[in-house]
């Protein structure tokens, strides 16, 4: 007999039970999957056909095949890679500058009512300002180069991560805090052992939101004051009327958005396995 732990056995029987439950609608699920793959191909094919038959103006709506060719060319000549690297590094550096203080302040606010009383009105008053409206001020303060771009991303990220972290800490089950108090845990242990992991699922929700908004903000920022980045690429190709390249920029932002979603989902699996389980069960 092979050694199988009770846990593995439990997981196996759970899986086989799930398979049994799904046996009937398998054909239907396969059909659904097929349709999900067919629909984008159908739209692209239709678009290609319309472009080929000159039913749409290819100056505005170039054929998918020519966008693909432009994508490949910009990938090979290094243009795409350089611009993606510029945008991604702005997002990442700005994100780190904004997210770390947001998490620390958010947890402190969630744990200490006096700190919350001090910061909450300030945050509530400034939260509604569209962060993009701060760009002129930030360029004035930090200059037209990289620092102003880090700053606008950092500010965007800060607010979203802060709000979610504070809510995450407030929503931690009181029982966990009772256990910690009864055990005689120090403030330090409560922060690292209870508040931070307890708020982690909400923090990650904030991070997901912040990265998506950061992508939007960086593209808009690069429209006006940049000589590199995906936003610059889109704007510049409009100005020189190289519409293929503009579409390459659009496709690239979509890919970046999907990548962000994938990375966060992966992070959730690693950092908050107990929550991922909740969602699945």
Give the residues lining the site for another protein (CB under 8 A).
5-7, 173, 175-176, 178-186, 189, 193-194, 197-198, 200, 272-274, 277-278
Q: Token pair for residue 168?
A: 């995450």
Rg of the chain's alpha carbons, rounded to an integer? 24
Backbone φ and ψ for 54, nearest 5 degrees, come out as 60, 30
For another protein, which is the closer residue by CB, 195 or 215?
Answer: 195
For another protein, which is the closer residue by CB, 13 or 126?
Answer: 13
For another protein, which is the closer residue by CB, 53 or 175?
Answer: 175
Neighbours of 10 (CB within 10 A): 10
- Tell me if residue 127 falls in helix, strand or coil: coil
For another protein, which is the closer residue by CB, 5 or 239?
Answer: 5
CB of 111 to another protein, least distance (A): 16
CB of 141 to another protein, least distance (A): 40
For another protein, which is the closer residue by CB, 6 or 128?
Answer: 6
CB of 179 to another protein, least distance (A): 5
CB of 174 to another protein, least distance (A): 10
Q: Where are the beta strands (DSSP E) in 36-180?
A: none
For another protein, which is the closer residue by CB, 33 or 181?
Answer: 181
For residue 141, how far is the Cα from the chain centroid? 28
User: Alpha carbon of 77 to those of 81, 82, 226: distances in Å?
Assistant: 9, 10, 20
Which residue reads 């966060």 in tokens? 264
CB of 203 to another protein, least distance (A): 12
For another protein, which is the closer residue by CB, 199 or 234?
Answer: 199
The C-alpha atoms of residue 148 and residue 151 are separated, in whole angstroms, by 5
For residue 129, how far is the Cα from the chain centroid? 21
CB of 210 to another protein, least distance (A): 22
CB of 268 to another protein, least distance (A): 13
First to last CA, the chain: 31
- Long-range (24+ apart) CB contacts under 8 A made by 223-230 are 224/135, 225/135, 225/139, 225/144, 225/148, 226/86, 226/149, 228/82, 228/83, 228/86, 229/83, 229/86, 229/87, 229/90, 230/83, 230/84, 230/86, 230/87, 230/256
């Amino acid at each position: 007999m092979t050694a199988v732990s009770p846990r593995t056995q439990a997981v196996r029987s759970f899986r086989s039970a799930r398979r049994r439950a799904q046996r009937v609608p398998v054909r239907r699920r396969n059909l659904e999957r097929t349709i999900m793959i067919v629909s984008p191909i159908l739209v692209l094919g239709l678009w290609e056909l319309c472009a080929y038959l000159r039913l749409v103006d290819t100056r505005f709506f170039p054929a998918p095949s020519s966008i693909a060719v432009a994508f490949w060319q910009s990938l090979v000549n290094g243009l795409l890679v350089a611009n993606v690297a510029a945008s991604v590094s702005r997002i990442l550096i700005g994100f780190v500058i904004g997210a770390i203080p947001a998490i620390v302040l958010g947890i402190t606010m969630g744990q200490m009512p006096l700190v919350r009383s001090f910061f909450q009105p300030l945050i509530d008053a400034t939260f509604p300002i569209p962060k993009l409206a701060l760009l002129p001020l930030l360029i004035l303060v930090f200059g037209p180069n990289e620092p102003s771009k880090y700053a606008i991303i950092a500010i965007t990220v800060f607010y979203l991560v802060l709000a979610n972290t504070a809510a995450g800490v407030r929503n931690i089950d009181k029982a966990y805090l009772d256990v910690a108090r009864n055990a005689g845990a120090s403030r330090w242990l409560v922060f690292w052992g209870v508040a931070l992991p307890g708020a982690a699922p909400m923090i990650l929700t904030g991070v997901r939101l912040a990265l998506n908004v950061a992508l939007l903000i960086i593209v808009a920022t690069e429209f006006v004051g940049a000589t590199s980045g995906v936003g610059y690429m889109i704007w510049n190709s409009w100005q020189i009327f190289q519409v293929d390249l503009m579409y390459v920029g659009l496709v690239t932002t979509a890919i970046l958005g999907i990548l962000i979603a994938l990375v966060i989902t992966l992070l959730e699996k690693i950092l908050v396995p107990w929550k991922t389980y909740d969602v699945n069960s």
